[in-house]
């Protein structure tokens, strides 16, 4: 009897065993006609795994469930170095498998499940998971700065499992603005997914451009119902006399505003390229460029600063906000300051937006906006203009307090 893996084709948990099989030269067949929610609820499947989780490996000696256990079984069928070449290597392989599962995969799942409609969204839970994920990525990035693989000098099962877990993040959640902070993790991931044995199973990989929105329970239920209901056979409509032209993509309302004398990209370049005499060059250049008819400036203050009791959680909270503001990168520039030498930390920001008001699509799509008090800058008030200057140049102390960090959105 051949080894049969029961799963759908694009399941990253099935990839683990299939890639291990490629390295070991073991034949593992993917079960044909597997349908999630149907096949795994059948009596035959429940005999192999009583709780119906996917995948399950069917072997001549019985079934195995849990994806890491399946991958370990396949990796041990032949000695091809997937557990290293010594006892300590084997221990390190197991170590990184646990790290991949508990520090990477679990936190990705906490953030993704509400976005797929599988769990209720809680901002505090997501903030904790996001902070833990960044901490794990930081540790992994430091290790990979001097290591090509997790154990030794070739691919092991640890690399296979970690890469499959990272695949879920890179393709569904982790945009370039997140992963660019961890260049060694990026290099590692793209190196592994382009290895022939990985590519044969996974195929071409494309990093996501946006974080998926959170689904309400109602949306999730409606989507599940629509998926479960069989499609009614529709009468074939009569062929139209002439094929309709495709409808043009709707333009962003900000693109329809009258032209502005301020070119946002020119300001961003000036900001990035000014290394000395910042006041005389960048700040002066900003006000020379600024067009109050085409742009507006806004101060923002976080409403719940008393909750900012842990520094890295506060920093990740701000980082997550900036990540979700990717939708406005073409139309905005921002500075976010985390203020204070001890908890609770204050979060304040300055934003430049195209148009005279905060863009409606930003208010609608970035839920962080409602966590801040927003006040339009009165540029006729010299005190407010000076506050703008101080925030752009990260002046310290700011309003009498030390800066813990300053982040720029550009």
- Per residue in 214-232, pLDDT tens? 876 566 566 555 554 544 5
42, 64, 44: which is closest to 55 by C-alpha? 64
Phi, then psi, of 92 in degrees rounded to 5: -70, -35
SS3 349: strand
**Is the backbone peptide bond immediately before 344 cis, with ω within 30 degrees of 0?**
yes
> What angle, rounded to 10 degrees, do the helices at 67-76 and 157-172 form?
140
The sign of the dihedral angle between the CA atoms of 386, 392, 396, 398 is positive
Q: What is the mean pLDDT of residues 241-252?
A: 60
* pLDDT, position 219: 66
Mind listing the domains of the chain with CATH numbers? 3-77 (3.40.30.10), 87-202 (1.20.1050.10), 258-409 (3.30.70.1010)
Quote the DSSP letter at residue 274.
-
pLDDT digits (tens, 9 = 90+) for 267-319: 999 999 998 999 999 999 999 999 999 999 999 999 999 988 888 878 878 88
Calpha distance 84→89 (Å, rounded): 5
**What separation in angstroms does the CA of 64 have from each of 3, 40, 48, 266?**
11, 14, 7, 59
Contact 369, 357 (CB under 8 A): no
* pLDDT, position 218: 65
* Both tokens assigned to 278: 């910042």
Q: For residue 143, what is the enclosing H or E element?
A: helix 123-144
For 48, residues 6+ apart whose C-beta sits below 8 A from its C-beta are 6, 56, 58, 63, 65
Calpha distance 211→326 (Å, rounded): 9
SS3 238: coil
Calpha distance 316→303 (Å, rounded): 16
374 DSSP β-pair partners: 300
* pLDDT, position 240: 46
Quote the DSSP letter at residue 105.
I
Residue 365 has pLDDT above 90, yes or no: no
Burial label for 31, CB within 10 Å (0-12, 13-18, 19+), is: middle
* Both tokens assigned to 124: 């505090």
Supply the pTM of this predicted model. Answer: 0.57
Helix count and strand count (H, E) for the chain: 17, 9
* pLDDT, position 216: 66
Phi, then psi, of 56 in degrees rounded to 5: -135, 135
Burial label for 205, CB within 10 Å (0-12, 13-18, 19+), is: middle
Q: Tokens 């329970």 appear where?
A: 217
**What separation in angstroms does the CA of 103 have from each of 96, 132, 313?**
10, 7, 16
Q: Tokens 């041990």 appear where?
A: 76
Share of the chain above pLDDT 90, in %: 76
Calpha distance 98→387 (Å, rounded): 48
Q: Tokens 């989780």 appear where?
A: 53
Computed over every residue of the chain, the mean pLDDT equals 90
pLDDT digits (tens, 9 = 90+) for 92-137: 999 999 999 999 999 999 999 998 888 888 888 999 999 999 999 9
* Dihedral-angle region of residue 52 (phi above 0 means left; psi in -120 to 50 means alpha; beta otherwise): left
Calpha distance 109→132 (Å, rounded): 12
* Both tokens assigned to 270: 């000036």
* pLDDT, position 388: 97
Calpha distance 64→69 (Å, rounded): 7
């Amino acid at each position: 009897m051949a080894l049969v893996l029961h799963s759908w084709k694009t399941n990253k948990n099935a990839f683990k065993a299939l890639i291990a099989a490629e390295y070991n030269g073991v034949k593992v067949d993917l079960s044909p006609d597997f349908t999630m929610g149907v096949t795994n609820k059948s009596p035959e499947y429940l005999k192999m795994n009583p709780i119906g989780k996917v995948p399950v490996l069917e072997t001549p000696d019985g079934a195995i469930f849990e994806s890491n256990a399946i991958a370990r079984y396949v990796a041990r069928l032949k000695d091809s170095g997937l557990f290293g070449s010594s006892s300590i290597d084997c221990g390190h392989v197991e170590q990184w498998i646990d790290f991949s599962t508990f520090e990477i995969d679990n936190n990705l799942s906490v953030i993704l499940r509400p976005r797929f409609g599988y769990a209720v969204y809680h901002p505090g839970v997501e903030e904790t998971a996001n902070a833990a994920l960044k901490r794990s990525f930081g540790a992994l990035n430091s290790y990979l700065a001097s290591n090509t693989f997790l154990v030794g000098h070739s691919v092991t099962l640890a690399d296979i499992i970690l890469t499959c877990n990272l695949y879920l993040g890179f393709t569904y959640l982790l945009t370039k603005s997140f992963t660019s902070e961890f260049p060694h993790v990026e290099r590692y991931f793209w190196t592994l997914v382009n290895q022939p044995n990985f590519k044969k199973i996974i195929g071409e990989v494309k990093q996501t451009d946006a974080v998926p929105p959170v689904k309400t329970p109602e949306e999730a239920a409606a989507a599940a119902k629509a998926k479960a209901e069989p499609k009614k056979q529709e009468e074939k409509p009569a062929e139209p006399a002439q094929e309709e032209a495709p409808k043009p993509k709707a333009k962003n309302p900000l693109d329809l505003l009258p032209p502005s004398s301020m070119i946002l990209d020119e300001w961003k370049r000036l900001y990035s390229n000014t290394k000395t005499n910042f006041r005389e060059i960048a700040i002066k250049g900003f006000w020379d460029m600024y067009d109050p008819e085409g742009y507006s400036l806004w101060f923002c203050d976080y409403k719940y600063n008393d909750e900012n009791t842990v520094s890295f959680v506060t920093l990740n909270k701000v980082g997550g906000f900036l990540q979700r503001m990717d939708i406005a990168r073409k139309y905005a520039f921002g500075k976010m300051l985390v203020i204070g030498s001890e908890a609770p930390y204050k979060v304040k920001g300055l934003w430049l937006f195209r148009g005279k008001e905060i863009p409606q699509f930003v208010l609608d799509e970035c839920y962080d906006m409602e966590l801040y008090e927003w006040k339009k800058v009165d540029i006729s008030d010299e005190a407010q203009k000076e506050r703008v200057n101080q925030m752009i140049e990260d002046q310290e102390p700011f309003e009498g307090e030390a800066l813990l960090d300053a982040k720029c959105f550009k």
